[in-house]
Amino acid sequence: MLSEVRAAIRDVPDFPKQGIVFKDITPVLENPVLFKQLIDVFAERHASNKIKKVAAVDARGFIFGAALAYALGAGFVPIRKQGKLPFKTHDESYDLEYGHATLSLHVDAFKPGERVLVMDDLLATGGTALAAARLVSKAGGQIFEIDFFIELAFLKGREKLASYPVFAPIVF
């Protein structure tokens, strides 16, 4: 099942800069059968885990996080780039594989101890996911797991997330 999803991911060399091979997921998103198969993998994994909120990272994480929240009957919480949320926020700065960024989350996104699944499209060096996890904790959420569509294992991002359960069905 996931072999077809994996095969649909295309490599785009030298994007967004020289030396990086970008994993283009749009062929998976454009195919309703493949997209559904992928979301079903996560939905089946978490069907009995009592997830209250899916917190997803701007921007591609929103694609998977919103669909998964719907499938689980959970709330959806956007973790946005700094300056994009209209209410009071917690902010977390971090380094990523080709730059520096800051993420924001509404201060009232979670009830204390609420069970949260963090979702993003790709685990690379782990900086973005660690910043997202710190934001969820600052806002009172309890992280159940951090999930990704794809993991680039050679970048060892999982090591940065060692204190959290991590799941990615497709690993390069």
**Annotation marks residue 97 as catalytic:** yes
Count CB neighbours of 6 within 10 A.
15
Residue for token pair 């885990």: 49
Active-site pick, 6, 60, 115, 134: 60
Reply yes or no on whether 159 is catalytic. no
Q: Which 8-state DSSP code applies to residue 108?
A: T
**Measured distance CA(92)–CA(75) in Å, rounded:** 22
Residues 6+ apart with CB under 8 A from 43: 68, 71, 72
Cα distance between residue 27 and residue 137, in whole Å: 34
Of the candidates 45, 97, 115, 134, the residue annotated as catalytic is 97
Closest alpha carbon to 122 in 157, 95, 91: 157
- Give the CB-side neighbour count of residue 168, counting CA atoms within 13 A: 20
Catalytic machinery residues: 60, 97
